[in-house]
Chains A and B, each alone.
Chain A
Amino acid sequence: MVADIRLLQGKLIENPEQGSKNISKLIEELALEILTEEELAVAAAPKNGSGSKS
């Protein structure tokens, strides 16, 4: 027996434009996460620069 369709269809968002209740908190956290990652990437990058490498 296949699982309830609710598990397969994803979450139907009633008012997509309404957004999350925690919007400012989430944007702040996202900015911090991206910034931290960028700082870490800069710290880890070799001095002569880097590109898309494999």
Chain B
Amino acid sequence: MNEPRTDSQSGSSLQTSGRKKLSLLIVQMGEVDEVFRSLMALKAIKHLYPEVSIHVASRRGNSDPFKRVEWIDSVLDTPKFQKGEDPVVKVALWIDQVILRNYDILVNWTGDPKRIRVASILTSLIPAAVKLGDHVAEDLSIHSYDGWSMYRNAWAGKNVEQDIHQTDLITTQLLTALQIHSGDPAPESAMNSVSSKFFFKAVNPALPAVWLDRPKGLKWIAVHADSMSERIAEWIEMVLRRHPDQGIVLVGDRPGFEIAANSRVVDLRGGIHFDSMISIFSNCGWLVSGEHPIVDLASLLNLRIFYAAPAGSREFSLKWTERGPYGNGHIAISSREEWKPEVAYAAWSYFQSEWFHKNRLTIHGHFENLSMSAALQEIQVFRSRIRPANEGGGVSYEPIAGVVQEFESWIYRVRGQIARGWFCGWLPGVEEEVSKLTLSPALVRRIRALNDSVIVIEQLGSQGRSTAIALEKHAKNMKSGYLMSVEDRTEIEEAGKKLLEIEGLIERVAQVEPELECLLGWYRQMIHNLESQSLAGMARETADAFDLVLEGVDLISAYTKKTLDLAKPKAITSGVVGTRELDS
């Protein structure tokens, strides 16, 4: 009954749903990690809107994964130049191929800073009725067409920690646009799953003989050696010594470290073809890897990942979560200093034996059994989970054990909620969210300190908003945008100066409280993307930018208030004051 249907089968039912069959062009000029994340997002899009036709413009050399997916209708590779050929003519002819395609929606998903320019030019050149993402504006600078792209540039692309994964960000961006332009997803489409197991077209790759001759009956762990510490060899030895049922397949580009000859180790380092990799992964139970596109591929194929989270700009930075393993049940380890094989082994072996201990043993107990309890003070352990739709959907990383950074986790979550409030119109109950917190005096003190700066930004934002509204009103009353009286000119200049002064003051607050720099970044991104050509229009857009900043401030204040309320002493039965006063 719930068997996946093919596109042709689903087409007939969708015609009756009355939705337009839109054609989408995805511009993805980034590296393969972005290609895989785009495929993950497109899988969700195709699942909910099976009638859309999907076309992709991608870089030759990186576009193969798109070509292996049956429900992608066409892939436009960047052109290859022949010797003596005029590149401008070649590119013009290449663009001509798509000029008359009449795409309904074009979305530029390229986030790689090195490729943004190329992708933005393409986005500007290829015609479409609706465009999303970055593009090259008339002044030849890069602008964004929509809010999610601005968010990506202002926060996700910068050093702001927030809890929305890149895959979720692009998925939500396009799903929202489809909802606006095409209508709600049909309820029946939820059954049209795009199976992960058969994500890529079946091919029979020529597999390396050493893999074909591997010992049978073993469970395999793929280890991406390039992205790991050289000490991964020690981890492999621990696994081989203690788990006779496990085999290791080494993947990656470089030979790297040496490992003692063992029939349970298959060394495929030196590069294997994409199709071979897919086939090998289908025989593995885990991928062990650091930050690398192979993680995105494994996510796409539902291979469980044991991930060494890359270090960020601060100790235990959560920035990695924007590109971490996607899906349910992946394990990520973030380390205070260097990655230690014995600690990683302790963590991996806990999750590897979950089926056996069935959560009767805690991870703390497991570390204790291995005499490694102290190691939990050096790491953070997370498990990924896809949140249900009523919790906002998307991937989240739940802390399982290790170092707790209360405030950093708190503000990280709040920032993600601000974006959800801005662009999804969905928020979980603040009270419910806050009730899950474990409060400590340090957290309460830190939130109080933050609140002082939030109050100042709120006042500045309100002033900015009223100044912009007054400017809009004044500009609207002027007969011409260019010819004006001296009084008008003075008034406009004064308003402009005041707006700049307010921005400067917000910047000073952000210097004192760097956690709020994100609000300044957001405001500046909005101002960079002002679209209007008229003074009144620009003033209106400036007021809108302050509105969104103020909404963000409101949400931080709501979280702050609820958290501080929770820390207040509570009267319990018979009027006895509780002992939950945490502030010293």
Interface positions of A (Cβ within 8 A of B)? 1-5, 7-13, 16-17, 19-23, 25-35, 37-38, 41, 51-54
Contact = CB atoms under 8 A, between A and B. Distances in A.
B274 interface: yes
A43 B119 CA distance: 23
Q: Which of A4, A25, A27, A41 has the most CB of B within 10 A?
A: A27
Interface string B142-155: 00011110100000
A46 to B, nearest CB: 10
Contacts of A3: 147, 422-423, 548
A23 to B, nearest CB: 7
Contact of A7 (B102, B136, B146, B271): B146
Given A22-B140, A26-B121, A34 B273 contact: no
Interface string B77-90: 01111000001101
Q: Which of B81, B91, B271 has the most CB of A within 10 A?
A: B91
A8 B150 CA distance: 11
Given A2-B423, A21-B138, A27 B81 contact: no
Contacts of B272: 53-54
B79 A34 contact: yes
A10 B181 CA distance: 10
Given A10-B145, A16-B102, A35-B87, A1 B551 contact: yes
A23 B140 CA distance: 11
B251 interface: yes
Contacts of A10: 105, 107, 130-132, 145-146, 177
Nearest to A21: B138
A44 to B, nearest CB: 11
A34 B78 contact: yes
B124 A34 contact: no
A23 B88 CA distance: 12
B147 A7 contact: yes
Contact of A9 (B118, B181, B293): B181
B180 interface: yes
Interface residues of B, number: 59
A25 to B, nearest CB: 7
A49 to B, nearest CB: 11
A16 B125 CA distance: 10
Interface string B88-125: 10111001000100100101000000000110011011
B527 to A, nearest CB: 14
Q: Interface residues of B: mostly helix, strand, loop or mixed?
A: helix
B576 to A, nearest CB: 41
A21 B138 CA distance: 7
A28 B88 contact: yes
Given A2-B422, A8-B176, A35-B81, A27 B125 contact: yes
A54 B62 CA distance: 11
A28 B147 CA distance: 29
Q: Which of B107, B117, B271 has the most CB of A within 10 A?
A: B271
Given A53-B253, A54-B272, A30 B125 contact: yes
B121 A33 contact: yes
6 contacts: A5-B180, A8-B176, A19-B127, A31-B88, A33-B118, A54-B277
Nearest to A16: B127
Contacts of A11: 130-132, 145-146
B248 interface: no
A54 B271 contact: yes
B131 A54 contact: no
B289 to A, nearest CB: 11
Contacts of A2: 421-425
A17 B138 CA distance: 16
A53 B423 CA distance: 38
Nearest to A2: B425
Interface in B264-297: 271-274, 277, 293-294, 297
A22 B138 contact: yes
Contacts of A21: 138
Contacts of A8: 146-148, 176-177, 180, 423
B146 A26 contact: no
A27 B95 contact: yes
B129 interface: yes
A12 B129 contact: yes
A34 to B, nearest CB: 5
B419 to A, nearest CB: 10
Interface in B48-92: 59, 61, 64, 78-81, 87-88, 90-92
Contacts of B64: 52
A41 to B, nearest CB: 7
A33 B271 CA distance: 28
Nearest to B107: A10
B544 interface: yes
A22 B136 CA distance: 9
B177 A9 contact: yes
Contact of A34 (B99, B118, B127, B271): B118
B422 A38 contact: no
Contact of B425 (A1, A23, A34, A52): A1
B128 interface: yes
B423 A26 contact: no
B78 A25 contact: no
Interface in B544-560: 544, 548, 551
A15 to B, nearest CB: 9
Q: Which of A3, A19, A23, A41 has the most CB of B within 10 A?
A: A3
